[in-house]
Amino acid sequence: MESKEEIKKDKEPIISIRGLYKSFDELDILEDVNIDIYRGENLVVMGLSGAGKSVLIKIIIGLIPPDKGTIKVLGRDITKLKGKELDAVRLHIGFSFQGSALYDSMSVRENLEFPLRMNRKKLTKQEIDAEVAEVLEAVGLKDKIDVMPADLSGGQRKRIGIARTLILKPEIMLYDEPTAGLDPITSDEINQLINSVQQKYNTSSIIITHDLTCAKTTGNKIGMLLDGTFKKVGTFDEVFNPKGDKEVEEEIKHFYNYNFIE
């Protein structure tokens, strides 16, 4: 399996994090986090449970404030935004939840129409139908348009969840454990879909995963979050063949051996 090619970087990153700290009570979660993500780049964030991966995502979308640091998203420091200004930035960010987060009482069509009706209220029925058809085509499930979520497989639910995120055409995609609970074949299909979304929509993505195959398949850049900070950032091979710092080498080796990769 070949590592993904490095993305040609624009002058300004689409997400830039500097000096980020976050604690809860006396527990330090994130300590001096610094990272840049460029347009069209997939960053995979890896680390053991409790390493702060989900906290990092929540800070990026403004759900929880940092204790210190700057988080620029699309050129705006989200730590200084509130209300409508923060909501306006969030409209450019799509979040694919681990559990797909579909409304079980709505058909696939209705699930996909819902964010359009909430956020783009001037669209006609014909325009909505066209948008729904486009994203279903993108995830390869046009034939499931009138199916209920309960009648979808786990992989299909993941795909529809991604489609619902894509329908607002976000510039940034956030994937939370996209292959969790899926068999190897379905996991590979989701990995290829993430790559397809990146190529078709030129999205910048953060992918939280424990799945080493997912990381190697989808990541242009891997960030290994250890002890609250990115101890190693680079391609898959650079991260998992570290040289220089023996302590970091041992921590990454432990993480690698704990997981399984083909």
pLDDT tens track of the chain, all 262 residues?
Answer: 445 666 666 578 999 999 999 999 889 999 999 999 999 999 999 988 778 898 999 999 999 999 999 999 999 999 999 899 999 999 999 988 776 678 899 999 999 999 999 888 889 999 999 999 999 999 999 999 999 999 999 899 999 999 999 999 999 999 999 998 889 999 999 999 999 999 999 999 999 998 999 999 999 999 999 889 998 999 999 998 867 677 777 888 877 776 654 4
What is the pLDDT at residue 241? 81
Pick the closest to residue 86 from 74, 68, 95, 96 (CA basis).
Answer: 74
Q: What is the dihedral of CA 117, 122, 126, 128, to 10 degrees?
A: -30
The one-letter amino acid at 76: R
Alpha-helical regions (H) of the chain = 53-60, 83-90, 108-119, 125-139, 154-166, 184-201, 212-218, 236-240, 246-258
Pair 185, 136: CB distance under 8 Å: no
Q: Vertex 99, ends 96 and 104: CA angle to 5°? A: 105
User: Cβ–Cβ contacts within 10 Å for residue 70, how many?
Assistant: 14
Gap between the Cα atoms of 159 and 167, Å rounded: 12
What is the pLDDT at residue 6? 66
Gap between the Cα atoms of 226 and 244, Å rounded: 16
> How confident is the model over 148-205, as pLDDT tens digits?
999 999 899 999 999 999 999 999 999 999 998 889 999 999 999 999 999 999 999 9
Domains of the chain: 15-258 (3.40.50.300)
What is the pLDDT at residue 243? 73
Q: Vertex 5, ends 58 and 197: CA angle to 5°? A: 50
DSSP state of 6: P
Gap between the Cα atoms of 57 and 22, Å rounded: 12
